[in-house]
Structures are given as C-alpha cells and as structure tokens.
A and B are shown apart, each in its own frame.
Chain A
Amino acid sequence: MKLVVSNPPHTRQGVSIATIMRSKIAILVAVSLLATIVFGFVVLELVLVSTLAAVLTEAGIQKLSKQELTIKDGDAVSIGMMIALLLPYGVPLWIPAVGSFFGVALVKHAFGGLGANLFNPAIAAWVFLNMSWGALTGSGSVPHIGQYSDIFLELGAGRLAEVSPIVFFIGGVYLIHKKYIDWRIPSSYLVSTIILALIIGENLSYVITGMLFFGVFILATETATSPITKNGRFIYGLLCGVLTVIYGSISYNYVVAVLFAIFIANAVSPFIEKNTYPRPVDEVAL
C-alpha cells in the first residue's frame, strides 16, 4: 500500500487566487456594462483592448522567459480592466493598449510578477499615461453626486469607473463579507476621507464619487502594495484618506486625488509594515 505523507494541514479552504480575482473581475465587469449604458459601445472596445493587451503582454513575457503561464489566475485580466476603467470614454484605443503593456510588463513583471509589484499596476500605468499624454487621458467632466439617482448611475461621469458608486460599494462589502479583501483598509480610508473632508468644509458630493469607492474597495486593497500587519493596514488606509483630501483640496479634483493618494501610499507601505510588527501573545515582557 502506498500512502502519501505530508505535513499538516491535510485539507484546504479552497479559496485560491483565482477565486479572489474572479470576484473582483465580476465587479469590474458590472461597472463596465453600466458604463456601456451611459457612454455607448465605445466602452466595450476600450475595455476589450485594454484587457487583451494586458493578457497578451503577460503571456508574451512568460513565454519569452520560459515561465509557467499564469493567465488563468485572472490578475492580468483585472489589471487590464482596471486600467480601462481609469480612462475617459473617448480615448484613442492605443492608449489603453500602451497602458496595459506598461502596467503588466514594467510594473508587475519587471519586479518579479504576481505579488512582487511595488505599485498597483493599474494606478502606476494610469500615472504613466497621465504624465505622458495628459491631454488625451484627461476627463471632460467632473462627477457630482447631486441627486440620489447619481449613486446608482452617474450620467455626468468622466471616467468609466465613476458611473456607479453603488456597484463598487455593494461589491466591496460582498468581498469583505467573503473575506476576499480586508475590512481595515476600506473602513479607515473611507472614514478618514469623509471626516477630513467635513473638517475642512468640502462639499461631500464632489468627494464621494465612484472613483473614491473604486479606490477604497478595489485599488487600495491590492494585496501586494498594502501592509500585511493589522495595525499597518489601519495606518495605510488613514494615510490614503489624508493624502486624498490634501491633494483634492489643493487641486479641486477628488477623482485624481484618489489615484495619486494610493500611488504615494503604496510607496510608503513597506515602511508602515516594518514599524507595526505585532506583539505575539506569548511575549511576556512589557
């Protein structure tokens, strides 16, 4: 009789990277479809080109460097979709393609692939596009949650992600409920942003947009670029919120503020983690 011998545990929960990514992609797909309703079929082209470019870049890199293909885990797909959602609807189609190539090749794979990236690939790609072709990627409209229906479908959205705050909110709460993302970063980010905006007397209808919820639930909780310690995640969320309000109050653009805040917070996340190592329960010394 041949018996398998291994270390415990001999069972697994069954949640894989692909499971987590798939549920994130489901939210992104829902938002893309709503954006199609608002802006028309040009959105689908944008999302498809971006996703396809991301997937092809990842496949090409892994083929060339003779690694195992990991397209199935859904990370490249989600990066591509996120880049598309960060862009306004009228951009030429080579913009998302270049952005996806930059995000997957230079931000993700140049640093070691899945889980090794320093910055969120989607945000870094957006920053790159914004710095290089600011006139093309700039948004013509600023979202404003003026009435209740704007929470469900914001017709004045400039970028695709701004069309529906409620989808990101419901999806994010679902992800937290399933423990696919952590609750600490979203809660401290959202609460600190709202409180700080109220303190400096900002009009909340410009602060709480679809982009804020996209940032809070999907972009800021990107696992590799946020600290893993429990206290560190609170501080990281707080930092994101503070930076969002600072940038937003200076530039009067809370949409771009979310992205730059997360981009800067990514850079200090290892520092936050290093300084918030937890105390194990058996450490007696006070």
Chain B
Amino acid sequence: MAIEIGKSVSTKETQEYHKQVVIPLMQHRGPICEPLIYVDDTVLKGQKIGECNHDFGAKIYSSISGHVIGLEDRAHPSCTTKPSIIIESNGKNETINFVSQQNPSKENIFDTLKDSGIIELNGYPIFNILNTTKTVDTILINLTHSSDVKSNCTPENISKLISGMKLLMKASDAVQGAIIIHKNNNQFASAISSGLNGDNIGIISVKRNYTPLMYNLLAYDVTGMRISNRDTPAEAGVMISSAYATLAVNDAVLEGIPPIEVNVAVSGAIGKPGIQRTEIGTSFKDVIQSSGGYVGEPAKIIMNGLLSGTAQVTDEVPVIQSTSEITVQSNDEVVRNEPGPCIHCARCVDICPVNILPARIASFSDIGRYDECSKLNVYSCVECGLCDYVCPSNIHILQLIRFARTALLKSFTIPEEKESPNLKLGCESCQTPCHMGAISSRGGK
C-alpha cells in the first residue's frame, strides 16, 4: 500500500499531545507479526506496521500518527507480555489515503479483507474464516455476545451492520444470512427487521448468549449439525461473525479504513459509564480516565464481560481488537467466596450448554484424575462460565476445568477422533489377507 499524506481526518476533536499507544504485535491466534518499522520512524494513522503471512496471522496497522518510541515487551490483555510497538502521538492526526470502494467485486472484497487484518473475537482472522475449502452457504451474525452487543450494536450502527453482512455474503457466495438475537432483546430485533428489506436475511431468536468460543454450538443450534471441537462452523456450511467483525469488514471494504479503532463499553465503578470509540493500543487507564475516572479504589478490571472475561493484572494493558467491554469492580463487588463441598445438586448439569457433567469433571480435576476428566469430555467445554455462576457451593468449576485441560495438554495427546460405526460395515476378513491393499472396508469401497 502506497503511503500518501491524505487530508487530516479528525475523529476526535481534542487529540492529546504525547498520547502513547501500545500496539501488541499479536492480537490473533497465529504467530507473532514481524514489525515493519524501526524505532524513531514516523508513522501515519492507518499505516501498516506489522506483517504476518501465516494462515492465522493478521496484519497490524498504526492507530495514530506519530513516531515510534519503542519496540518491547508490554503487558497484554491475555495476562501475559507480548512484543509491542509503542507510538507517541505528534498531535497532527495525519492519515494515509484511505481508498474507498463502491460496489466491490468478490475478488476485491477478498483482497481487502486479506490485507486488513480484521480478527474475529475468537482470535481467528476473518479472512482465514472466509478462505475455507468447505461450501459456506449461510452467514450468521451473532448478536448475543453481551459485551459485543453492548458496545457495537448502537442504533446508528445497524445499517452498517447489514451492509457488512451483505459484503460477507458476497465474499463467501452465501445465498442466505441470518442475524442471531437473544429472545429477550425484542426492541433490538424490531430495529433490525426495519433495516432489512428482502435480501434473504432473516432474524433468528435464540435462548442463549453465545460467546465467541461457542460458535460451533451456535452452528449446531441453528443447523442441527453436530460439529467436533476440532472443526469450525464451516463444517455445517455456516460462517459466524460477531458485530465487531462485521462493522470492521464494512469499514475496511467500503471506506478503506483498516481496524484501528474499536468501540468499547466502559462500565462499573467509574464516573461516566458509556460507549467510547477508542484507538487500538490506548491503555485501559486512558479509556477509564476519559470515562470519568475511577470512583473509589478499583479492585478488579475485567475485559469482555463478567461471565467469561479476563481479569487484568494492571490497567496499563492496551485496548486490542477483541476488546469490547471494560468493567471496573470496586472492592465489595469482587467475588471472594470460599468453595464448599459439592452437594450434587446438578444445577451445573442443567445449565451446561454442551451437555457435559461439570461437577464430576471439577471433582476429578480437583483430585488430579485428569484421565477421568478426559473420559468425561472435558474438551467439549466452551468455557461459558455458567456452571460456575450458578454453583451454590461456590466451587471454581471453570478454573478446575481449565486446569484439567492444561494438565492434559501437557501430559497426554488429545485422544483420536472416534470413527463413526456407520463406516464399519464389513467384517474386514477380506481386507486383512490382501497384500496389495486393494480392498478397503472403509469409505464404501
């Protein structure tokens, strides 16, 4: 992409001087990006600063104009440190020339998305999700992830959402699309249905809130096809996108703006709770500062929702693409309950969306019997956190499940996929003596 100095697009009237952004070189699941700039370089807003050609890699763009003052490990919202580019603003807000497109063709959308580095909230680049060998005929927009909906689904965004969805349908040759809405969210459904006219897009109301880790489950609930936890929803012919990614696709394709700003809903013990449009790389501290600052001493800062979000070690962590909600808890809101004995009340079993036995897995994990956890399908867990939420004994079920998974990954290999007995039709007595290997009872030969 040629770097040209375009006109100054001011998204915020009061761009602060000496504002720093810390842009992690890894916001996705793939390997770490290669930085394209050096310390002391001057960068423009929207300039590409990180490159990664891996399948799961996503390119990274500068979110402000200024000069690079460092390239070092910094705190990352995933509670680790990741190599990051630190850019100090020069206050000029110079951008590259964003190339907008009208009526892009399928190839144009594909190329733009490949270059834009938009990451779906589950960590996979949106281009990687689109670029599948499976036939995708349905696009689903998941509007049930509460923090994503809170920040991105404001009334003015709905037309953009639908246009982004149409772009995704065009790119994947999908013939139909559906918007997934929680059944309690009625006023939102009516707002969306008034924005739809024809276009093979429907609205599906569901009973659950689906986090980005539950996309396989969402595909199962919509299509009725069971998907193994090693596969993606493309197996069932659907592609699922969050509100954030759909809006980002719309911006990237139609206006040429790569993902450099995200909407963040800030709530909890702060002065002015609300939604903010924030540059990627802004520290949580700055975001909270501009939402009125802390009220009292903060005790816990949580990214992306109370049920399955990550608690942060420090408020110096930067906003990344998957940040959509920041919650600040004061000291008396922090849950500090001591776990008690399991009374086998089965509340966790009743609420589990993937039909496993969280209580049994938790008690086996607690005594170190990870093999039993594996037998009880610990890998099927989608980490929604509901079992933990309803537990009357305050047992840290989700933590124990994660612990068992980590231990299993370190000690065992993931068990081989079970083969469907439907394929085992023959007795195989003809197959065994044939030294040419010509006869196979598998695959219907």
* A residues in contact (CB < 8 Å) with B: 1-13, 15-17, 19-20, 70, 73, 113-116, 179, 182, 223-224, 226, 228-230, 233, 277-286
Structural contact, B392 and A19, CB atoms closer than 8 A = yes
Structural contact, B307 and A5, CB atoms closer than 8 A = no
Given A3-B311, A3-B315, also A282-B216 (CB < 8 A):
yes
Chain B residues touching A, majority SS: loop
A284 to B420 alpha-carbon distance, docked (Å): 8
Structural contact, B402 and A223, CB atoms closer than 8 A = no
Given A3-B301, A115-B343, A282-B354, also A17-B393 (CB < 8 A):
yes
* Size category of the binding interface on chain B: 35 or more
Out of A1, A3, A228, name the residue touching B344 (CB < 8 Å): A228
Structural contact, A10 and B309, CB atoms closer than 8 A = yes
Is residue B389 contacting chain A, with contact meaning CB distance below 8 A? yes
Residues in B whose Cβ lies below 8 Å from that of A285: 417-421
Structural contact, A286 and B420, CB atoms closer than 8 A = yes
Sample of 15 further A-B pairs with CB below 8 A, known A1-B298, A12-B388, A282-B227: A4-B334, A6-B311, A8-B307, A8-B311, A8-B383, A12-B335, A115-B342, A228-B359, A278-B355, A280-B356, A281-B355, A281-B380, A284-B418, A285-B418, A286-B421
B79 to chain A, nearest CB (A): 7
Residues in B whose Cβ lies below 8 Å from that of A115: 341-344, 393
Structural contact, B217 and A20, CB atoms closer than 8 A = no
A91 to B310 alpha-carbon distance, docked (Å): 59
Structural contact, A7 and B309, CB atoms closer than 8 A = no
What are the 5 closest A-B residue pairs judged by CB atoms, nearest first?
A280-B380, A7-B399, A9-B385, A115-B343, A228-B346
Structural contact, A12 and B389, CB atoms closer than 8 A = yes
Structural contact, A223 and B345, CB atoms closer than 8 A = yes
Given A3-B301, A20-B392, also A8-B310 (CB < 8 A):
yes
Residues in A whose Cβ lies below 8 Å from that of B334: 4, 10
Structural contact, A5 and B313, CB atoms closer than 8 A = yes
Closest to A6 in B: B311
Binary per-residue interface labels of chain B (293-321) against chain A in the complex, 1 for a CB within 8 Å, 0 otherwise: 00001111110001111111111000000
B345 to chain A, nearest CB (A): 4
Structural contact, A8 and B385, CB atoms closer than 8 A = yes
Out of A13, A113, A223, name the residue touching B389 (CB < 8 Å): A13
Question: Which of A1, A7, A282 neighbours the largest number of chain B CB atoms within 10 Å of its CB?
Answer: A282
Is residue B238 contacting chain A, with contact meaning CB distance below 8 A? no
Residues in A whose Cβ lies below 8 Å from that of B300: 3-6, 10
A73 to B345 alpha-carbon distance, docked (Å): 15
Residues in B whose Cβ lies below 8 Å from that of A223: 343-346
Question: Which of A9, A16, A115 neighbours the largest number of chain B CB atoms within 10 Å of its CB?
Answer: A9
Closest to A113 in B: B341
Structural contact, B377 and A280, CB atoms closer than 8 A = yes
Out of A12, A15, A281, name the residue touching B226 (CB < 8 Å): A281
Binary per-residue interface labels of chain B (381-412) against chain A in the complex, 1 for a CB within 8 Å, 0 otherwise: 00101101111111010110010000000000
Q: Pull 21 A–B residue pairs with CB atoms less than 8 Å apart, ordered by A.
A: A3-B298, A5-B311, A6-B335, A7-B398, A8-B308, A8-B388, A10-B334, A11-B335, A13-B389, A13-B390, A20-B392, A70-B340, A114-B343, A179-B350, A223-B343, A224-B344, A282-B216, A283-B380, A284-B228, A284-B417, A285-B417
